[in-house]
Amino acid sequence: MAAPKSTTFIFPPRVKGVKIQSSEDLFPVGKIYCVGKNYEDHAKEMGGSVDRDQPFFFSKPPQAITQSPSIPFPTQTNDLHHEVELVVFLSSKCTDIEPAQAAQHIFGYGVGVDLTKRDLQEVAKENRKPWDLSKGFDNSAPISKIFKNEGIILREGEIKLKVNGQERQLSNLSHMAWGVDEIISWLSKFITLNPGDIIFTGTPAGVGALNPGDQVEASIQSVGELSFKLL
């Protein structure tokens, strides 16, 4: 009997990895989801309000993730904005879970910035179209090294962002409308989450414009720091 023919990819699959604090291992990037309007003050500054019935999600592709200290200023925008966020990294598969079960699926946390082409986003909103081109461009999700913190739900801690040394955003994770456990639970009811999946949990008020040459510094208490320059 002939041996079964092995299957090969027609070209090598692309796998992106995220660095982890105090480790040589890499965290493999899976799906990336982001929560919109999860802080009341940010929702108000954007002319809206928090949806207390259900969180709102959008996604970014893997090529949005970067840990480079230097990021090329993106094309096709005249109004690039910063949004600092707590990022959650998942370590195991979960589907249709309750909030009380969420902690067991957490690998750790990071500091992230959701870079947004605000001008493109506003056009998409006006025309009731998806946000993909305003949120999912290359290098649109800079993140820090992962702080491994398995099985823990973070509920408080200072979150802030500075541009060229000037404070732009300052809040506390306790002000999130939807907690980390609620976010994971809600998302798992609509799609199976797997090891390697990443969730950006929303930004507080103070978002603003960035320009070429700007130095961005972001941090979250007990999680870590992130710094990058726009070229």
**For 140-165, what is each residue's pLDDT tens digit?**
999 999 999 999 999 999 999 999 99
State the amino acid at position 90 in one-letter form: L
At residue 42, the pLDDT reads 84
| Helix, strand, coil in percent for the chain, rounding step 5 | 20, 35, 45
DSSP 8-class letter at 173: G
Sheet (strand 32-36) strand order = 56-60, 32-36, 198-200, 84-90, 106-113, 147-148
Among 4-18, 23-37, 179-193, 208-222, the range scoring the smallest mean pLDDT is 4-18
DSSP lists the bridge partners of residue 90 as 106
- Is residue 70 scored above 80 in pLDDT? yes
Confidence of residue 46 (pLDDT cuts 50, 70, 90): confident
- Please tell me what DSSP assigns to residue 57: E
Span 36-47, average pLDDT: 83
For the chain, which domains are there?
A: 29-230 (3.90.850.10)
Q: What is the mean predicted confidence (pLDDT) over 17-38?
A: 96
Confirm if 71 and 228 have CB atoms less than 8 A apart: yes
Where residue 118 falls among pLDDT bands split at 50, 70, 90?
very high
- pLDDT tens for residues 157-192? 999 999 999 999 999 999 999 999 999 999 999 999
191: region left, alpha or beta (phi > 0 left; psi from -120 to 50 alpha)? beta
Query: Backbone dihedral region of 90: left (phi > 0), alpha (psi from -120 to 50 degrees) or beta?
Result: beta
Tokens of 194: 């797997």
What pLDDT was estimated at residue 41?
Answer: 79
Average pLDDT value for residue range 112-122:
97
Q: Per-residue pLDDT for 45 more than 90?
A: no
